Every structure is written in structure tokens, then in C-alpha cells.
Amino acid sequence: MYFWMSSACLKCAIELEIPDIIHKNGQPISISQLVSALKVPPSKANFVKGLMRLLAHNGLFSIIESNNIEEESEVAYDLTSASQLLVSGTNHCLSSMVQWALRPTRLEMYHQLGKWVRGKEKTLRETAFGVGFYDFLNQNPADLAAFQEAMSSDSLFMKVALSDLESVFEGLNSIVDVGGGTGTTAKIICEAFPMLKCIVLDLPEIVAGLSGDTNLSFVSGDMLKTIPHADAVLIKWVLHDWGDDDCIKILKNAKEAISGNGQGGKVIIIDTVLNEKQDNHELMETKLLYNIILMAEFDAKERSEEEWKQLFQKAGFTDYQLFPILGFRSLIVLHP
């Protein structure tokens, strides 16, 4: 019942910038050094020690035993592959994703999960705040900014993933990033493929005031109504926010958008695929937890490969390829 404390302590470590401090130190850091760098009152030193002990137990930091002859033996802490993802200024920093996941307004509404289940409101946010997700963001600029920053940081992983995705983008002259936000993913694609024209499609309030360049442009619109024509359509971490009927509409619009490509266009989807037979326990738990979030906040869900296949067929696609290469998300390529 106290698992929530792990998340609270993770958020605390990010707010204290502990991963950055260890990274800048260039070597494992002792508790006394960390307390000094944090500039916390001496009375909080024991808490810092307990915090690091817990987070190291959870795999966020590694414990390094040191025995300096001139000093008393003291435990030191170093970054692990997990905490390296929290170092600011890198192209793989996920700190803003953690901050978004643990926004006070978000945690507050989950205290009303039982009330929502018994009630008639479509989403948990409507039960808690009286409005849906996007209306809530429009009414709360700080939450909107936190959400956009989180989505941008997630998109930075495209830099890491592109080494495995080059063949997917090769041969294309144009691509539309559906729900592409402020264009982080599109900019990364443009950098990797300078000859590729990228169009970012999102709601007017998202793309208002954004300017592109020769290879990048922003278009305001509604993916449920129409998607600009291009050789390919990218739909990254979008479809799982929508119910089946809306997903079919989006996919049909995507199919229409690539229909003018004589060489045969493609739709590139990056999203989660449930696979209880192949996923390990921790990976499947992450997917199932996110499934709860989607059901409560969007009246949507994560899908198995069979469920994805049914959507593709109903949208008129005859062929797809699935590659589970992006952590708890997969790459799916659709062909008309």
C-alpha cells in the first residue's frame, strides 16, 4: 500500500536535481558530499541518506563501497542506466515525463477513482474537475506547459530510435506528424533526413505562433476530419488515447492522406502493444498501469496485436508489420 512513496521519492530526487549533481561530480558521490551540494539543513542529512538508500534499492542509483585510508569508510552513490535518463540537458532526459505523471492535479483526481467508477461521467477528470482532458489543459496553463514539455522530452527518444528506423523513412519525400505538438519529433526527423518535408498537424491552440523552415511546416486542423496529403503519416503515441471508432476515423483519414502516392504510401504508428505471453512481468505491469490511466482519463485503452489488427482491417489496410523495438512501445508500419 506504500508503493506510492517510491514515486514521491523519485519526484523528490528530480526536484533536488540529484541525478544532475552526481553527473556533474563525475564520479560516485558520498552522502556528506551530496548533503553539502544540496545545501540542505544538517537536520535533513539523515533523510537524504534514507532517500538514497531507497532509490538505490529500487535500482535508480548504484551503491559504491569505498574505503579511503585517510577517511572513515563511507558509502557512495553513482548513476545507473535508469537515473541517467533523468540528467538534464541530454537528448534522453525523462524528468519532465515524471513531473507530468506526478502533477498534483493529476494525483488529486485519482483519489476519486472509486467515485468515477460508480458515476456517469465519461472520464475521471470530468468527475474531479468537471471538464475533459483538453478543456482542462486549456483552462490551466501550467498543466498545459507541463504536458507539452513531457511530450517533447518523450519525442527526444526519436534521436535514439532513428538508428533502428532509418529504413522506415528512406525513400520518402514527405511525411505528416499527426498530433505532433510543438514539432520536436518532426525536427529530429528533418535533421536525420534533410531531404524529407515534414508537416506537423495539431489543434490550433497547440500550433498557434509556431513557425517552421524550408523542410518543416505547421498546420492547424483536426485529425478526426482530415489529414494533409503526404508520402507517409506518422502517428506517435496518439491512437491509444482514443476509442475504437475514433481510431478507425483517424486511420481512414491517414489512408486517404497517402493515397496520392503512386509508389504506395505508408502509415507509421508508434504505440503500445499488449503481449502477456512475451512481455516480462515489469514491462507488462507498466503497460497495464498505463491501460488504467487511458481508461480513466480518456475512455480509451491499450491494445493487443489482435485488437490493433481489427482496427487496421476496419480502416481498410491490408498489410502491417510490427516491430517491438521501442521499449514498452512498438513500431507498426501499415500499407494500403
Domain 156-335 has CATH 3.40.50.720: no
Q: Note the pLDDT of residue 263.
A: 60
**pLDDT (tens digit per residue) in 24-33:** 999 999 999 9
Listed by start position, the domains of the chain span 4-86, 95-149, 156-335
> Does the annotation mark 240 as catalytic?
yes
Query: At 247, which amino acid appears?
Result: C
- pLDDT tens per residue, range 230-271: 999 999 999 999 999 999 999 999 999 998 755 668 999 999
Instruction: Report the C-alpha gap between 198 and 190 in whole angstroms.
Output: 7
**CATH numeric code, 4-86:** 1.10.10.10
CA neighbor of 184 nearest in space, from 159, 213, 166: 159
- The CA distances from residue 223 to 91, 130, 131, 226, 254, in Å, are 28, 25, 21, 5, 8
Using alpha carbons, select from 60, 56, 63 the residue that is nearest to residue 77: 63
Q: Which residues contact 95 (CB under 8 A, 6 or more apart)?
A: 14, 19, 86, 88, 153
Contact between 76 and 64 under an 8 Å Cβ cutoff? The reply is yes
pLDDT band at residue 298 using 50, 70 and 90 as cut-offs: very high
Out of 23, 57, 229, 240, the active site residue is 240
Q: pTM for this structure?
A: 0.85
